[in-house]
Amino acid sequence: MLIALIAVVAGLVLLVWSAGRFVGGASATAAHFGMPPLLIGMVIVGFGTSAPEMVVSALAASQGNPGLALGNAYGSNITNIALILGITAMLAPIAVHSQVMRKELPILTVVTLFAGWQLFDGELSRMDAAVLIGVFLVLIGWSIWSGLRSPSDSMAADVSTELGVHSMPIRKALIWLVAGLVVLIISSRILVWGAVDLATAFGVSDLVIGLTIVAIGTSLPELASSIIAARKGEHDLALGNILGSNLFNTLAVVGIAGTISPMAVAGDVLTRDLPVMVLLTIGLFVLGYGFRGPGRINRFEGAAMLAVFIGYTGYLAATAF
């Protein structure tokens, strides 16, 4: 059990490190080859921040651990909203200025409701997974098209500046790109092995391990970037980071896992985890959209989100055994 615990900790540390190197290397490489900052921000950075969840869930599905695959994706969404946005709003209240964000908030809400409805029959088939990936590709295309029409409203330039993509030499960028991807895959395998072994040792389901330890660990890149963005006054960047990550998790991460291995959906996911994720998403939409003016998530609302996360995690821990 001690070896499994060490594997989980080491896997998470390497996962976070490699994700950062991969995103930085990929963004700098794309910039050197002339890709606009908008595409770097929307596609490469968006993909890179969700790369840990994507690789972990894909490996879990391929190894016959559907609970870990779904738990990681949905647990990351819950963590992103309740923990990360909660802490970020408590440090610096988040104001929603961008029209892009005001479009993505209702889209995320509809996508989350659609994903929950799709799993209502208790199964994630390859057809379900294909639909999720198809919707994801359509949304990515729409986001790029919208951003190109209104580049002044996009946050991509801020993202590329934060990453320093223009200052990194191409050789270094390629090295970080390859090294980050290799370590990302290796660390994901270590993490999945350790998480499954821990679940077996403690007698809990791999779903609970995925919803808690793995989900929180794979969401660390979003936590760091959102706090930094909020403290610098880049409120839309902090919120956009979470919205983009949740869209990736709900559509691409679950879709890829289901394509690799169709899976039965545990009853707890349908009666406990999906409802929590849906309610948090709807709450974020209500707070952030701003029906009578600019949306805003204040410190009190951030504290309420954090309280929901603590209560949800505490309930998981209390009922795990």
Predicted confidence (pLDDT) per residue in 119-147, tens digit? 888 899 999 999 999 999 998 888 777 66
The pLDDT value given to residue 139: 86
User: How does the average pLDDT of the chain come out, rounded?
Assistant: 81
For residue 123, list its beta bridge partners: 264
For residue 296, list its beta bridge partners: 95
Residue extents of the structural domains in the chain:
2-319
> Is the predicted pLDDT of residue 101 greater than 80, yes or no?
no
The pLDDT value given to residue 156: 47
Q: How far apart (Å, rounded) are the C-alpha atoms in residues 229 and 241?
A: 9
Instruction: Decide: residue 267, CB within 10 A, 0-12 exposed, 13-18 middle, 19+ buried.
Output: exposed
3-state secondary structure the chain: CHHHHHHHHHHHHHHHHHHHHHHHHHHHHHHHCCCCHHHHHHHHHHHHHCHHHHHHHHHHHHCCCHHHHHHHHHHHHHHHHHHHHHHHHHHCCEEECCHHHHHHHHHHHHHHHHHHHHCCCCEECHHHHHHHHHHHHHHHHHHHHHHHHCHHHCCHHHHHHHHCCCCCCHHHHHHHHHHHHHHHHHHHHHHHHHHHHHHHHHCCCHHHHHHHHHHHHHCHHHHHHHHHHHHCCCHHHHHHHHHHHHHHHHHHHHHHHHHHCCEECCHHHHHHHHHHHHHHHHHHHHHHHCCCCCEEECHHHHHHHHHHHHHHHHHHHHHCC
Q: What angle do CA 17, 20, 21 make, to 5 degrees?
A: 85
Which CATH architecture group holds 2-319?
Answer: Up-down Bundle (1.20)
- Tokens 């959209």 label which residue? 289
Higher pLDDT, 209 or 46: 209
**Cα dihedral value 175, 181, 182, 185, nearest 10:** 170
Non-local (6+) Cβ contacts of 183 within 8 A are: 14, 17, 18, 21
* Range ranked top by mean pLDDT from 62-71, 147-156, 190-199: 62-71
The pLDDT value given to residue 14: 85
The pLDDT value given to residue 189: 80
* Range ranked top by mean pLDDT from 105-109, 193-197, 231-235, 254-258: 254-258
For helices 170-202 and 66-78, what crossing angle results, to 10°? 110
Q: What percent of the chain has pLDDT over 90?
A: 26
The pLDDT value given to residue 44: 64
